[in-house]
Amino acid sequence: MARSITPAELYAEIDEGRCPYVLDVRNQDEYATWQIEGTRPVPMRNVPIWVAVEESESLAQEIPDDTVVVCAHGNGSDLLIDVLKDEGREVRTLQGGTAAWAELLVARSIEGLPGGMVGYQIARPAKACLSYLIGVPGHGCIVVDPARFPQTYLDLAARHEMSIVHVLDTHIHADHISGGPAMAAELGVPYHVPVEDSGAQTPFANEPLDDGAILDLGAASIEVLAIKAPGHTPGSTCIHIPGHLVLTGDTVFVRGLGRPDLTGKASELATELFHTIHDRLAPLDRATRVMPAHWTLMEEIGDDGMVATTLGAIFEADIMSVGDMERFIEEIVSTLPSAPDFYDTIRLVNAGQAATAEEIETLEIGKNQCAASTSM
């Protein structure tokens, strides 16, 4: 039996229901912040490494063979698999630990796009974040809400002989560090982020998208539009392929709406969110697929591994049919959970404030908390 498993291999085992058990040997506070998560539940237990070593005899009797032992960087789990082997239990270690898991990106093809187009939803399981690459083979493509690890996007574009011609963020993110400015600068292509979020003065080149702006992919028959959709943030923008798909960023999720309080203007942005729903999204074709920038619950992941729904399904939720603005605002604002303190720092970094690699790794610990608690 292999003594180790890569993050991609572990994700695939979880996805296929083949992972028997995960033993997480990080400190209890680290485990409480976030755990390994795939597309389906997997039996899991937290036993700090020093306890696991001291109680290895009884622990070996309580876990199955092929258990995946997880620590922060792989060192502690390497030690423990030898200890458990002496007790007659064959287990594996996650290569690179949760630090490597945090960088895992999983791409799935988006079916049913207009003729000639290809697209991918790219999941980052550690953050429950979603990004996208959509384009026309042999022509151009766009990257939307990219993680800070560019190779997956570059490889997907190269697979279809596409050039990345636009990189954009639907808003200034508060839960993770964007790879957008760096990717655009490296490729020498335009970067777009709403100026209402970033501020007029940024240390990187920015070409904000106007409402209704067309993103040119080099194929005249394909129309990709920007739709201003404030509510989660002042400048939140959706990307719309009419009659087919809308990338909603953090404005609308499969279950829930984007929280409007992360810029300190909850009631004001809840008002904007009301108008976005009723004036900007409601008139669109209800068969349009909705793909957001996050998921919150595992139940939002479909059997095909995709996080998606339709506008029709979205508008079946009670909160979406509330026509009274004051009631809508009250229902949204009164249900908001507390946001992590470091979200303000992440927003500043995404607007251009410098941060070291160590600071960025610390800031990105934990699953996103960008959704309002109102269920849909």
Phi, psi of 347 (to 5 degrees): -60, -40
Looking at residues 173-187, what average pLDDT do you find? 97
Q: What is the largest CA-CA distance in the chain?
A: 67
Looking at residues 194-206, what average pLDDT do you find? 94
CA dist 293 and 56 (Å) reads: 41
- Residue 148, sorted as left (phi over 0), alpha (psi -120 to 50) or beta, turns out to be alpha
Q: Which residues pair with 131 in a beta bridge?
A: 122
Mean confidence (pLDDT) of the chain: 93
Angle between helices 325-333 and 266-275 (to 10 degrees): 130
SS3 content of the chain, % helix, strand, coil (to 5): 30, 20, 50
What tens digit of pLDDT does each residue of 225-256 get? Answer: 999 999 999 999 999 999 999 999 999 999 88
Vertex 225 angle, CA 280 and 164, to 5°: 145
Q: Which residues contact 51 (CB under 8 A, 6 or more apart)?
A: none
Helix runs in the chain, H state only: 7-15, 28-33, 49-54, 56-62, 75-86, 97-101, 151-159, 180-187, 195-198, 266-275, 311-314, 325-333, 343-350, 357-363
pLDDT of the residue at 218: 87
CA dist 2 and 82 (Å) reads: 13
pLDDT of the residue at 345: 96
CA dist 370 and 294 (Å) reads: 8
pLDDT of the residue at 1: 54
Helix (H, G, I), strand (E, B) or coil at 10: helix
Between 374 and 47, the more confident residue is 47
Query: Among the listed ranges 165-179, 206-220, 278-292, which one has the minimum average pLDDT value?
Result: 206-220
What are 180-184's contacts with CB under 8 Å, separation 24+? Answer: 180/143, 180/145, 180/146, 181/205, 181/206, 181/352, 182/148, 182/150, 183/143, 183/146, 183/150, 183/153
Q: What is the CATH number of domain 106-363?
A: 3.60.15.10
Q: How far apart are the first and last CA of the chain?
A: 44
Report the predicted TM-score, pTM, of the whole model to 2 decimal places.
Answer: 0.95
Q: Which residues pair with 238 in a beta bridge?
A: 227
Under the banding of pLDDT at 50, 70 and 90, the label for residue 2 is low
Please check whether residue 195 is in contact with residue 235, taking contact to mean a CB–CB distance below 8 angstroms: yes
Q: For the chain, what are the domain ranges?
A: 4-101, 106-363
pLDDT of the residue at 27: 95
Looking at residues 114-141, what average pLDDT do you find? 95
What tens digit of pLDDT does each residue of 316-375 get? Answer: 988 888 888 888 888 888 888 888 889 999 999 999 999 999 999 999 988 888 988 655
- Which helix (H) or strand (E) segment holds residue 238: the answer is strand 237-241
Q: Which residues pair with 168 in a beta bridge?
A: 144, 192
pLDDT of the residue at 376: 57
pLDDT of the residue at 76: 78
Looking at residues 20-37, what average pLDDT do you find? 94
Question: Which one of 3.90.1150.10, 3.40.50.300, 3.40.250.10, 3.40.190.10 gives the CATH number of domain 4-101?
Answer: 3.40.250.10
Query: Among the listed ranges 26-30, 72-76, 100-104, 172-176, which one has the minimum average pLDDT value?
Result: 72-76
Instruction: Return the residue matching tokens 């709403």.
Output: 194
Instruction: Return the residue matching tokens 């790794």.
Output: 361
Between 177 and 74, the more confident residue is 177
